[in-house]
Amino acid sequence: MTSNTRQQDLAVTDTARLATSAYADDQHLAARQSIYLWQKPRYDLPGIIVEHLAKTNGTILDVGCGNGKFITRIRQDRPDIKVIGLDISIGIITSVSHPVAVADAQALPVADASVDAVLAMHMLYHVPDIPAAIKEAARVLRPGGLVIASTNSENDKHELDQLWSAAAAEVLGTLEGPSRISLSSRFSLEKAPELFRNELVNIRVLKLPGVIELTDVAPAVAHFASYEAWADQLGTPFATTLQRASELAAAEITEHGSLRITCLGGIIIAQKANTDMGLNVTD
């Protein structure tokens, strides 16, 4: 691991940064979520989560609940389930209906074996000690309870990575520009099963591939701009590089009719063992 990567990992997991500039509200999160409006096929991710909770009753923790889109859907479709939202940022949960609380995924304020499912949707890569957070999720689960997490592949949206690097190279006057920061690389779709293995069983990976096709540059620019909280880690002037990336994206659309972005996200489902459960890992 390079020094630059270590510095970026520290930035991605910095609690103060997460609770303020990154997720003080849901502006940046909503921008990253909105680009999927142009993806084909479209996935109803909250609906998929509800489906996987079909046999779950009782209480669910949504750890790192963000702007509460999963909480809203679960409460709508499964009013029999109690959903508690937890997040490191008080700002982003102000509009989420209660019960919600500020909490650290590495030290959940919940009793042992007291909940029936734990959600960790696109958030474990922000936790400094990912194994500790997974251990905490297992601790609070009743035997047989589910952990459902989501993240992206290490190859997700590589066209945007290439576009940003090209823009940074032009701005810096170098042959190759620095990469944009990767949020999901610490807990990628490829790494997740092994990270779960020590605490959980019956690990399943549901891959959700797709293609985003943009004929307007605005969603791509909004996506790039949502990384402003980590501008100091990018090794290039953020505003200038963002403008050049916008111009390169517009040129791609003009030349080819669209900007195509390949996506690969996914969901990892696992269980807390009962005494009669065995380990099973599948893709």
Of the candidates 18, 77, 81, which has an alpha carbon nearest to the alpha carbon of residue 44?
A: 77
Q: What pLDDT is attached to residue 8?
A: 84
The yes-or-no verdict on residue 277 having pLDDT over 50 is: no
Amino acid 275: pLDDT: 65
Mean pLDDT of 207-211: 98
Q: Which helix (H) or strand (E) holds 4?
A: helix 3-12
List pLDDT tens digits, range 225-257: 999 999 999 899 999 999 999 999 999 999 999
pTM: 0.92
User: CA 135 to CA 208: how far, in whole Å?
Assistant: 26
Within the chain, what is the greatest distance between any pair of CA atoms? 61
Compute the Cα dihedral for 166, 171, 173, 178 and give only its sign. Answer: negative
Residue pLDDT, tens place only, 121-165? 999 999 999 999 999 999 999 999 999 999 999 999 999 999 999
Query: Between the CA atoms of 183, 186, 187 and 191, what dihedral angle is there, to the nearest 10 degrees?
Result: 140
Per-chain mean pLDDT for the chain: 93
Question: What is the structure's pLDDT at 274?
Answer: 85
CATH class of 3-154+182-209+264-272: alpha beta
Give the pLDDT score at 190.
96
- Rounded to a whole number of angstroms, the CA Rg of the chain reads 19
| pLDDT tens sequence across 98-114 | 999 999 999 999 999 99
Q: What residue spans define the domains of the chain?
A: 3-154+182-209+264-272
Query: Is it the case that residue 3 has pLDDT exceeding 60?
Result: no
Using one digit for the tens of pLDDT, what is the confidence trace for 166-198? 999 999 999 999 988 889 999 999 999 999 999
CA distance 119 to 103: 14
**E strands present in the chain:** 39-40, 59-63, 82-87, 100-102, 115-121, 141-152, 201-214, 259-271, 281-282
pLDDT score of 26: 87
With beta carbons less than 8 A apart as the criterion, state whether 182 and 164 touch.
no
Average pLDDT over residues 215-232: 94
Res. 216: pLDDT tops 80: yes
pLDDT at 280 over 70: no
| Residue 1: pLDDT band with limits 50, 70, 90 | very low
For residue 4, the model assigns a pLDDT of 57
Report pLDDT for 7: 85
- Region 205-209: mean pLDDT is 97
Which of 109-123, 219-233, 267-281 is predicted least confidently?
Answer: 267-281
pLDDT of residue 278: 46
Ramachandran angles phi, psi of 141, nearest 5°: -80, 145
Going by C-beta distance under 8 Å and a sequence separation of 6 or more, which residues neighbour residue 89? 18, 19, 20, 23, 24, 102
For residue 234, report the phi and psi dihedrals to the nearest 5 degrees: -90, -15
Over residues 48-75, the pLDDT tens digits come to 999 999 999 999 999 999 999 999 999 9
